[in-house]
Chains A and B, each alone.
Chain A
Amino acid sequence: MSTEIIHQTAAQMSAELASGNVTAVELASAHYDRISAVDGDVHAFLHLDREGALAQAAGVDVLRKAGEKVHPLAGVPLALKDVLTQKGVPTTCGSKMLEGWRPPYDSTVVTNLKKAGIVILGKTNMDEFAMGSSTENSAYGTTRNPWDLSRIPGGSGGGSSAALAAFEAPLAIGTDTGGSIRQPAAVTGTVGVKPTYGTVSRYGLVAFSSSLDQAGPCARTVLDTAMLHEVIAGYDPKDSTSINAPVGKMVEAAKKLDVKGMKIGVVKELAGDGYQAGVTIRFNEALEALVSAGAEIIEVSAPSFEYALAAYYLIAPAEASSNLARFDSMRYGIRIGDDGSRSAEEVMKMTREVGFGKEVKRRIILGTYALSSGYYDAYYGSAQKVRTLIKRDYEAAFTKVDVLVSPTCPTTAFKIGEKSEDPLAMYLNDVCTIPINLAGIGGMSLPCGLAPEDGLPVGFQIMSPAMKDELMYQVSGTLEAALQSSWGKPLYASAPELSVR
């Protein structure tokens, strides 16, 4: 592996920028070069905002040179999931529906990134409106996993995770409704965090399922992720569900490298049949590493998790059916069939037929059904009650342990096309990641090795009580250090070299 600057961590790049060894413009350019070289194969990006990013970088350089105090991550590049608005920059959500739409406003996440001087390289690919686990549902083509280009990079945020794994960016933003940050992180050997619901503003995050969606930081290391986390989190009066509390000290927690005396719960229900052998092996090795570091492992039962997937696939589509109603061709986005003879109603129908992909339509229909009169109580109502039970399972578990852990996904990255015709098989991918979204607590994935049978990354999931996200960083920081010292190098450094064009 080369020692080019793009292979460094964000923390290292930050130090290089601070010491003046590299400028933000050079750093951004190096990443654009890398993107030009490999993104033809990977297809992580949907749009590059070269002009905007370089202007941002130049601004940071001016301030640094003048000796102004800037954020440590100022000048470090970032890949932004295309579900967050950035003023004047195309935002498609991976949908044909929004082709060409340039929002007139910045999401709060983008505002926070810009304030910190983080350079936004461009927008990354995703499953349409964040519905999927593979990016195969993007209207703009599938992103490929840099570890094996014939495999999926996870989803919905596969573009962001692939960009990290392919060294196209050291930092990325994802959004997680049922695992869209953590599952892509797991299958690409990167780190991704879904913060406690309400700690990162949803203003400007194009809603899939409002009560579940949460944006979060992604990077190649725990520390980088923690640094980004502190930038994007914080109270936002524009989001009614934003929690008015100080941001936890994530960086400090990530640097603790100590789990002595911590109680770590293994969720009994998130293991067993259906879990790939290599996933279980690596997961257990990670547990051993944590024990060696002084943690106590306790088995914990969460009986309602059995119903989490079903509850999720009612609540999320129900909210989505309403959230996606606004895409009707009247005010923005594409418009189909407006030939002067058709009514607004007909044009709406035709536009939504053409503008939405199969999975999105499937979920809109499912969600409409779950909310419709006569079925509400049996479906949506029951799912909301299951949600209460899942919250209670977590509350009970957290009286016994500090954090909970499980594999992030039952398997490593599957082949592109393998599950695209079988929605139920695809949904099963989210079985470990969904419960935390329903409960609104924090969860993360970090790499815990390569599965022996296919040599692909395995993800280790850590779940922490609401508003205690720093605990995840404390555990993951320690685990990452322990595993890297046993491997001799970070996992991402083992990724195969991509052919360069």
Chain B
Amino acid sequence: MALNYDQAIELYEPSLGLEVHVELNTNSKMFCGCATVFGASPNTQTCPVCLGLPGSLPVVNARAVESSIRIGLALNCSIVPVSRFARKNYFYPDMPKNFQTSQFDEPICINGYLDVTIDTEEGPKLFRIDIERVHMEEDTGKSLHVGGATGRIHGAEHSLLDYNRAGIPLVEIVTRIVPGTEKYAPEVARAFVAELRDILQSLGVSDVKMEQGSMRCDANLSISPRSSGLLGTRSETKNVNSLRSVERAVRGEIIRQANRLQAGERIVQETRHFQEESGETRSGRSKEQAEDYRYFPEPDLLPILADPAWVEELRLGLPEKPSIRRKRLQESWGVPDKEMLAMVNAELLDTVEETVLLGADPTKARSWWLGEISRLANEKDVSPRSLIESTEVAEIISLIAAGELTDKLARQVLEGVISGEGTARAVIEKRGLKVLSDDSALMVAIEAAIAAQQETAERVRAGNIPAAGALIGAVMKATGGQADAAKVRELLLRHLGQG
């Protein structure tokens, strides 16, 4: 019988390592002045250098170097005083020179770490993930496989190459093996990638769009029988393109490897590909015969000297760390852990902060974004951010606070803004959604309600205040929700001698 995840973990201990490739958001490519716009027409952002034409030569993009150092600093790395580029030699049609200009034994940043906290059964637990290195390299072109049924490589008759992506600066972040993740390996992997993404975003060095491939994760995983002290053969799962997939891929690999060993089959050292649909990984290239990349120092490029003064300047310019920022916001907003985590997981922290900075109450901002707006976004299968501007949300919240809108009316206003009827104020105007604040109009409704429920009114007069609820409900119904319930209550009680 196949082992499930819990059974697998009971028998085997996972060892997790991650490699993340990040496309930097520089204007121009790593070694030439071609633009880096995503989605441009094929082969329009290409020149002799990034096409690897005979005779062309690379020149390093200074901002790419700066971004790499900033990433290293944000990941608590040492910045290597002298780093070098090296050529990684292997043939592949999407790589114009048939070598990748990368860094080998002298990367720009080494020995850092990143802390992540995950929810465990025993409460929040911190994991320190050691960063082995951060190095610079260049991206490859893109191939399109034609003739096969699926657009995949297998069964394709020929391939078409677009080199717009070739030469876009990449930073590769490599972790050491993370010890002691135990059954939380999938969650730790996800948390690492999420935290890294937040850091990169706060640095402004990358678009970090996993779905567009500007951030790509490879998960290295091996398992070993408990207490054996051995390190198993590892597989490398490539290009896992969402946070959820990172978690699924690691989980899937643990189950797969455990079942293989259970069945008496050895683990093959290989590249595997994550299958989004099934959540499983599929075998790719075997790495049993280690590739011989024949690295050697790139003769066309010179060493990078990280001047300590420059590094210090960059260190001083680093933004607040996302983890510290979260702590600060949580304290200033007075939000419980659970709600804070919910905001982070929903990727709405920035948005809520923005709304709060526009004057909204933090609790209200959180509840609108995570509640009604997220619900509507879910229905439309889009992100909440794409539905409505923070300014409109802040406006609606302030109108509620001022008593000009009830929650019920506010939901209608929101719906109007989202469906494109204009700003919150315009929707209120057009739909006539103003709260009835005119006392005399309300009094008409209150008297009508008392007349209809005289017995109840007597009980209130006699001091049974909770009985007023039925009367208030009737008034609200009669005014179509446009009345402010608190106001109605106040007027009603006063009218019945209880004010």
Interface residues of A (CB under 8 A from B): 84-85, 91, 93, 98, 101, 103-105, 107, 202-207, 209-211, 237-241, 318-319, 321-322, 325-328, 330-332, 340, 344-345, 348, 368, 371-373, 376, 380
Interchain CB contact under 8 A, B97 and A325:
yes
Q: Which residues of B contact A318 (CB under 8 A)?
A: 296
Nearest CB in chain B to that of A349: its residue: B91
A-contacting 9-mer, from B10-18, B21-29, B54-62, B197-205: B54-62
Interchain CB contact under 8 A, A240 and B53:
no
Q: Which residues of B contact A371 (CB under 8 A)?
A: 89, 294-296
Interchain CB contact under 8 A, B57 and A211:
no
Shortest beta-carbon distance, A381 to chain B, in Å?
A: 9
Given known contacts A240-B58, A240-B302, A380-B296, A105 and B98 CB-to-CB distance under 8 angstroms: no
Mark interface residues in B55-98 (1 if CB within 8 Å of A CB, else 0). 11111100000000000000000000000000101010100111
Mark interface residues in B142-157 (1 if CB within 8 Å of A CB, else 0). 0000000000000001
Mark interface residues in B37-65 (1 if CB within 8 Å of A CB, else 0). 00000000000100111111111100000
Interchain CB contact under 8 A, B294 and A372:
yes
Nearest CB in chain A to that of B85: its residue: A240
State which of B55, B91, B157, B295 has its C-beta within 8 Å of the C-beta of A103: B55
Q: Which 10 A-B pairs have the closest CB atoms?
A: A325-B98, A371-B294, A210-B299, A211-B299, A206-B54, A204-B55, A206-B55, A85-B55, A326-B97, A326-B52
Q: Can you list 9 contacts pairing A with B, beta carbon distance less than 8 Å?
A: A105-B56, A210-B300, A237-B59, A238-B57, A240-B60, A322-B296, A326-B98, A331-B52, A371-B89
The CB with the most chain A CB atoms within 10 A, among B54, B57, B99, is that of B54
Interchain CB contact under 8 A, B294 and A373:
yes
Interchain CB contact under 8 A, B59 and A238:
yes
Interchain CB contact under 8 A, A326 and B294:
no
Q: Which residues of B contact A327 (CB under 8 A)?
A: 54
Q: Which residues of A contact B98 (CB under 8 A)?
A: 325-326, 328
Q: Does B292 contact A (CB under 8 A)?
A: yes
Nearest CB in chain A to that of B97: its residue: A326
Interchain CB contact under 8 A, A105 and B48:
yes
Mark interface residues in B95-126 (1 if CB within 8 Å of A CB, else 0). 01111000000000000000000000000000
What is the bound-complex CA distance between A210 and B85, given in angstroms?
A: 14
Q: Which residues of B contact A107 (CB under 8 A)?
A: 55
Q: Does B161 contact A (CB under 8 A)?
A: yes
Nearest CB in chain B to that of A98: its residue: B54
Shortest beta-carbon distance, B184 to chain A, in Å?
A: 37
Nearest CB in chain A to that of B47: its residue: A105
The CB with the most chain A CB atoms within 10 A, among B59, B157, B159, B302, is that of B59
Q: Which residues of B contact A206 (CB under 8 A)?
A: 54-55
Interchain CB contact under 8 A, B57 and A202:
yes
Interchain CB contact under 8 A, B54 and A330:
no
Q: Does B301 contact A (CB under 8 A)?
A: yes
Interchain CB contact under 8 A, B54 and A344:
no
Shortest beta-carbon distance, B145 to chain A, in Å?
A: 11
What is the bound-complex CA distance between A49 and B143, given in angstroms?
A: 37
Interchain CB contact under 8 A, A322 and B59:
no
| New A-B pairs, 4, CB < 8 Å, besides A207-B300, A371-B295 | A103-B55, A332-B54, A348-B91, A371-B296
Given known contacts A318-B296, A328-B91, A372-B292, A239 and B57 CB-to-CB distance under 8 angstroms: yes
Q: Which residues of B contact A368 (CB under 8 A)?
A: 294
Interchain CB contact under 8 A, A240 and B91:
no
> Interface residue count for B (Cβ, 8 Å)?
32
What is the bound-complex CA distance between A368 and B158, given in angstroms?
A: 29
What is the bound-complex CA distance between A424 and B300, given in angstroms?
A: 28
Nearest CB in chain B to that of A239: its residue: B57
Interchain CB contact under 8 A, B91 and A345:
yes
Given known contacts A240-B60, A371-B296, A326 and B55 CB-to-CB distance under 8 angstroms: no
Q: Which residues of B contact A105 (CB under 8 A)?
A: 48, 53, 55-56
Interchain CB contact under 8 A, B301 and A322:
no
Shortest beta-carbon distance, B56 to chain A, in Å?
A: 7
State which of A84, A321, A325 has its C-beta within 8 Å of the C-beta of B55: A84
Interface residues of B (CB under 8 A from A): 48, 51-60, 87, 89, 91, 93, 96-99, 157-159, 161, 290, 292, 294-296, 299-302
Q: Is the contact region of chain B dominated by helix, strand, or loop, or is it mixed?
A: loop
Interchain CB contact under 8 A, B57 and A344:
no
Q: Which residues of A contact B157 (CB under 8 A)?
A: 340
State which of B55, B57, B99 has its C-beta within 8 Å of the C-beta of A322: B99
State which of A240, A321, A348 has its C-beta within 8 Å of the C-beta of B57: A240
Shortest beta-carbon distance, A346 to chain B, in Å?
A: 12
Shortest beta-carbon distance, B408 to chain A, in Å?
A: 64
Q: Which residues of A contact B290 (CB under 8 A)?
A: 373
Shortest beta-carbon distance, B298 to chain A, in Å?
A: 8
Q: Which residues of A contact B60 (CB under 8 A)?
A: 240
Shortest beta-carbon distance, B289 to chain A, in Å?
A: 12
Shortest beta-carbon distance, B169 to chain A, in Å?
A: 16
Shortest beta-carbon distance, B127 to chain A, in Å?
A: 34
Q: Which residues of A contact B296 (CB under 8 A)?
A: 318-319, 322, 371, 376, 380
Nearest CB in chain B to that of A105: its residue: B48
What is the bound-complex CA distance between A175 and B391, given in angstroms?
A: 65
What is the bound-complex CA distance between A209 and B57, given in angstroms?
A: 13
What is the bound-complex CA distance between A205 and B53, given in angstroms?
A: 11
Q: Which residues of A contact B56 (CB under 8 A)?
A: 105, 203-204
Shortest beta-carbon distance, B32 to chain A, in Å?
A: 9
Nearest CB in chain A to that of B294: its residue: A371
Shortest beta-carbon distance, A138 to chain B, in Å?
A: 16
Interchain CB contact under 8 A, A373 and B292:
yes
What is the bound-complex CA distance between A225 and B6, given in angstroms?
A: 79
Interchain CB contact under 8 A, B93 and A241:
no
Q: Which residues of A contact B158 (CB under 8 A)?
A: 340
What is the bound-complex CA distance between A328 and B95, given in angstroms?
A: 11
Given known contacts A240-B302, A318-B296, A371-B296, A332 and B91 CB-to-CB distance under 8 angstroms: no
Shortest beta-carbon distance, B485 to chain A, in Å?
A: 71
Q: Which residues of B contact A85 (CB under 8 A)?
A: 53-55
What is the bound-complex CA distance between A137 and B57, given in angstroms?
A: 26
Q: Which residues of A contact B294 (CB under 8 A)?
A: 321-322, 368, 371-373, 376
Shortest beta-carbon distance, A176 to chain B, in Å?
A: 16
Interchain CB contact under 8 A, B48 and A91:
no
Interchain CB contact under 8 A, A240 and B300:
yes
What is the bound-complex CA distance between A177 and B256, given in angstroms?
A: 54
Given known contacts A211-B299, A340-B157, A380-B296, A328 and B93 CB-to-CB distance under 8 angstroms: yes
Shortest beta-carbon distance, B155 to chain A, in Å?
A: 12
Shortest beta-carbon distance, B137 to chain A, in Å?
A: 15
Given known contacts A322-B99, A328-B91, A203 and B55 CB-to-CB distance under 8 angstroms: yes
What is the bound-complex CA distance between A359 and B52, given in angstroms?
A: 23
Q: Which residues of B contact A321 (CB under 8 A)?
A: 89, 294
Shortest beta-carbon distance, A134 to chain B, in Å?
A: 23
What is the bound-complex CA distance between A330 and B295, given in angstroms?
A: 23
Q: Which residues of A contact B161 (CB under 8 A)?
A: 330-331
Nearest CB in chain B to that of A83: its residue: B55
What is the bound-complex CA distance between A331 and B57, given in angstroms?
A: 17
Interchain CB contact under 8 A, B299 and A319:
yes
Q: Which residues of A contact B51 (CB under 8 A)?
A: 331
Given known contacts A104-B48, A371-B296, A205 and B89 CB-to-CB distance under 8 angstroms: no
Nearest CB in chain A to that of B52: its residue: A326
The CB with the most chain A CB atoms within 10 A, among B57, B59, B292, is that of B57
What is the bound-complex CA distance between A87 and B96, given in angstroms?
A: 20
Q: Which residues of A contact B93 (CB under 8 A)?
A: 328, 330, 344
Shortest beta-carbon distance, A125 to chain B, in Å?
A: 17
What is the bound-complex CA distance between A105 and B47, given in angstroms?
A: 9
What is the bound-complex CA distance between A372 and B296, given in angstroms?
A: 10
Nearest CB in chain B to that of A204: its residue: B55
What is the bound-complex CA distance between A105 and B32, given in angstroms?
A: 14
Shortest beta-carbon distance, B94 to chain A, in Å?
A: 9
The CB with the most chain A CB atoms within 10 A, among B56, B58, B60, B290, is that of B56
The CB with the most chain B CB atoms within 10 A, among A103, A205, A331, A348, is that of A331
